[in-house]
């Protein structure tokens, strides 16, 4: 089932996610629904926060043929490199906006898979960017918060204006269905 993605500046994007305590069918279904939502968008990463579920669940697939789906449950950064890279990031919660963000270029991450088995990965390049971006969502942080207040406010205004258009279309569609 496809889930609704929260759009910046929705205040729910700033909630802090809690660790997953039980690795059950409900978690497996959440991961499955998040994957459907991400691939449909299409995107390369999605955090549960973005679908209004405030638990430490992230999915990532940076492959072009959709063969690399990885779920990171309760992820932790064990190590990050001193050297940094700037990457033009985007976000499914901030549609149409891309801007440069500087982050450590390599990270070592520990997480659990959907069955509750622990694993570790060393990430660099796009995967390292994506993991850090998605883990920020779990802390309630959106990438635009790394940009200048001027840029952030312009983005906020643009998206709020778009949101009013979406709401108006939705109201029209709902009223159309009644006749």
Active site residues: 134
| Residue 130 contacts Co ion per CB under 5 A | no
Distances (CA, A) of 10 to 98, 163, 164: 18, 10, 13
Is 91 near Co ion (CB under 5 A)?
A: yes
Q: State phi, psi for 143 to the nearest 5 degrees.
A: -60, -25
At its nearest, how many Å lie between ligand QAP and the CB of residue 29? Answer: 21
Least Cβ distance, residue 67 to ligand QAP (angstroms): 16
Residues whose CB is less than 8 angstroms from the CB of residue 76 and which lie 6 or more positions away in sequence, other chains included: 109, 110, 111
133 contacts ligand QAP (rule: CB under 6 A): yes
Binding partner selected for residue 9 from Co ion, ligand QAP, none, CB under the kind-specific 5 to 8 Å limit: none
Q: x/- site string to ligand QAP, residues 145 to 164, per CB under 6 A?
A: --------------------
Closest among 49, 41, 38 to 6, alpha carbons compared? 49
E strands, 36-93, are: 45-47, 57-60, 70-80, 84-89
Q: Is 9 in the site for ligand QAP (CB under 6 A)?
A: no
Count interface residues toward Co ion (CB under 5 A).
Answer: 1
Q: Does 59 bind ligand QAP (CB under 6 A)?
A: no
**Secondary structure of residue 62 in the 3-state scheme:** coil
Distance CA 137, CA 139 (A): 5
CB of 14 to Co ion, least distance (A): 13
d(CA 49, CA 68): 21
* Of the candidate residues 1, 4, 21, 96, the single one contacting ligand QAP (CB under 6 A): 96
Do residues 78 and 146 make contact, with C-beta atoms less than 8 angstroms apart?
A: no
Question: How far apart are CB 47 and Co ion at their closest, in Å?
Answer: 7
Residues in contact with ligand QAP by the rule CB under 6 A: 41, 43-45, 87, 89-92, 95-97, 129-130, 133
Please enumerate, by residue number, every residue annotated as part of a binding site for Fe cation. 91, 133, 137
């Amino acid at each position: 089932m496809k889930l609704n993605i929260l759009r910046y500046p929705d205040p729910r994007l700033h909630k802090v996610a809690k660790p997953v305590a039980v690795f059950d069918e409900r978690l497996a279904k959440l991961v499955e629904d998040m994957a459907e939502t991400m691939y449909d968008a299409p995107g390369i990463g999605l955090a549960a926060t973005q679908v209004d579920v405030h638990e430490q669940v992230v999915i990532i697939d940076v492959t072009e043929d959709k063969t690399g789906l990885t779920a990171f449950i309760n992820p932790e950064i064990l190590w990050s490199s001193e050297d940094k890279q700037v990457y033009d990031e985007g976000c499914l919660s901030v549609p149409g906006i891309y801007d440069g963000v500087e982050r450590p270029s390599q990270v070592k991450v520990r997480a659990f898979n959907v069955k509750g088995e622990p694993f570790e990965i060393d990430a660099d390049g796009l995967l390292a960017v994506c993991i850090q971006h998605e883990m920020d969502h779990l802390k309630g942080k959106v990438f635009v918060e790394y940009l200048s207040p001027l840029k952030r406010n312009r983005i906020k205004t643009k998206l709020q204006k778009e949101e009013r258009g979406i709401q108006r279309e939705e109201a029209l569609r709902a009223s159309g269905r009644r006749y």
